[in-house]
A = this chain, B = another copy of it.
Amino acid sequence: MSNSQPVFSVAQCPHRLLLDQIADKWSVLILGALCEKPLRFNVIKRQLEGITQKALTQSLRRLQRNGIVERRVIATSPVAVEYEITPLGRTLKEPFQALYNWTMTYLPEVERARLAFDLEINDLREAYQPTA
């Protein structure tokens, strides 16, 4: 988005790192939960109502691989596993907050645009098939 810079090819685009690996559907929510304090697997699962075990495992593994969360096994019986956000993970708060703020500020404007767009589409449809 910066002016007078070359456009990145997709493969190299640094945004992809964030978008694909860290800022995806579930990860933002997981990080939001872990931001306050470390949590165990099923606690996260309960907080993110709707996520499957598979999806949670995958997201957590990916975040761990990227150094965003830390996985710690507690040798009780049955075993407990705690996930904690890393210092690196905490640095995400600023850019995510910027995104969040944008959405809060401009969501109404976006919704107006959608309404207008969809209306226009319907008008065109009606003009094409006047009596349905």
Show the binding face of A for B, using Cβ within 8 Å. Answer: 1-5, 7-11, 13-20, 23-26, 28-29, 31-33, 35-36, 47-51, 64-67, 88, 91-107, 109-110, 112-114, 116-118
Contact = CB atoms under 8 A, between A and B. Distances in A.
Nearest to A23: B19
Contacts of A51: 10
20 contacts: A1-B97, A1-B100, A2-B35, A2-B97, A5-B32, A7-B47, A14-B103, A14-B107, A18-B103, A19-B23, A19-B28, A23-B23, A23-B99, A65-B113, A66-B114, A94-B102, A95-B98, A98-B98, A98-B99, A99-B99
Given A2-B32, A18-B103, 16 more contacts: A1-B93, A7-B29, A7-B33, A8-B32, A13-B29, A14-B100, A14-B103, A14-B104, A15-B103, A19-B25, A19-B28, A65-B114, A95-B99, A95-B102, A98-B98, A99-B99
